[in-house]
Structures are given as C-alpha cells and as structure tokens.
Amino acid sequence: MIASKIVGSSPKTGLRVVAFDFGHTLVDERKDGTIPLETRPVHLMPDVYETLPQISPPLAVWANTRTVGEAELRRFLDRAGIGRFFTWVVTSVDAGFRKPTPDFFDFALSKCGLDRNEVLFVGNQLNTDILGGEQYGIRTVWLSGRAYRSGDDTLSPHDIHPTYTLRALGQLPALLQRIHDANGYPQRR
C-alpha cells in the first residue's frame, strides 16, 4: 500500500530517472555477504526481475560500497541478468563519499547529468538512503517490508519522512503510473 501523496511537478522539473540503492534493495546482501562480489552467487531481492522491465524512465544504481567501483558493480549486475536496465552506476568508492552525505548526492547527480528534482530514489535504509535523499531534496521511496530491513538501520519511520513508502519493490510500477497520471511523466516501455 502506498502511504504517501503524489507530489505535483511541472514537465520541466519532472521525473527523468529512477535510482536504486544496491544492497538489500536490488540484491540480498545478507546471503553470501562475506564472499567478494566478483564470485558471490546472485541473490536478488523479491520482484527485481519482474519489476525493472516495467519501468520506463532511465534507471541508475546509487550504491554505498566499501571496496567496489563502478566497473566491478556493473559486472555483477550483468551476471545477475539486470545490468542492461541501468544507464548509470554510481558507487561511494568512485564518489569518495558515502550516503547520506550531500557530497555523494552531488557526485551522483553530476555523473547522471541531473537536477535533484528529476530523480526518484528507491532504497531500504532510512539512515542512509532516505535520510540522504530527503536532506538533499530528492524524492524518495522507502521499501518498508520485512524482507528489505537492514540490521544497521538506526532510524525509525517516526524519525524521517520518505516521499513514498512501499512494502515491496513490486509495487513500484503502480506508484510510477500514479505519478505519471498526476504529472504526465513517461512510464511504460
């Protein structure tokens, strides 16, 4: 269930990119998390294969990584069968900063050639993804379902207010359709 309102926007400042966090938004980081990414088995989160093809705006991955840069993350996404969906891959290793710092979001927007009001950022962690996006002025989608919970999330839903809240990634196409209907953004492929 969608737990927030649709925000109006002019076509000039409309949604141009849907950006995703990597760990526990697209990929289950609990399974085989100690194995290096280049040899780690692929464990995608629920509905990833079904959802990504339904999203029309270009897609990006904005990932907090400790040792992995764009090239290695792209190889993993390709191995997972989802690399073709992502126009941009931004990592904290390449940025030199981690979410939620504004410097990370500066780098990501610059790399993607976007303004903050042209992005919808989808993530699972309130203390990095949602807090960072909210403080930076980027619209956010918090994946609140139990499957997406991370043990190192230190904030609660009472501390922060995502633009939208979804229980599962599979609900994202319906949200994007509602945004499209309200604002005229492109949606279906």
Distance CA(5)–CA(161), nearest Å, equals 12
Residue spans per domain, the chain:
11-183
Question: Does pTM surpass 0.95?
Answer: no
Closest listed residue to residue 60, CA positions, set 95, 34, 29, 9:
95
Q: What is the pLDDT along the chain (189 residues), one digit of tens a residue?
A: 333 323 333 343 489 999 999 999 999 988 877 888 888 889 999 999 999 999 988 999 999 999 999 999 999 999 999 999 999 999 999 999 999 999 999 999 999 999 999 999 999 999 999 999 999 999 999 999 999 988 778 888 888 999 999 999 999 999 999 998 887 554 444
Quote the CA–CA distance of 141 and 144 in Å, as a whole number: 9
Superfamily of domain 11-183: HAD superfamily/HAD-like (3.40.50.1000)
DSSP conformational letter for 129: I
- Burial label, 67 (beta-carbon count in 10 A; 0-12, 13-18, 19+): exposed
Tokens 């692929």, located at residue: 42
CB 116 within 8 A of CB 134: no
Which residues, 6 or more positions from 155, have their beta carbon under 8 angstroms from its beta carbon?
126, 127, 130, 131
- Cβ burial, residue 162 (10 Å; 0-12/13-18/19+): buried
How many Å from the N-terminal Cα to the C-terminal Cα in the chain?
A: 24
Q: Minimal CA–CA distance to 133: which of 158, 170, 160?
A: 160
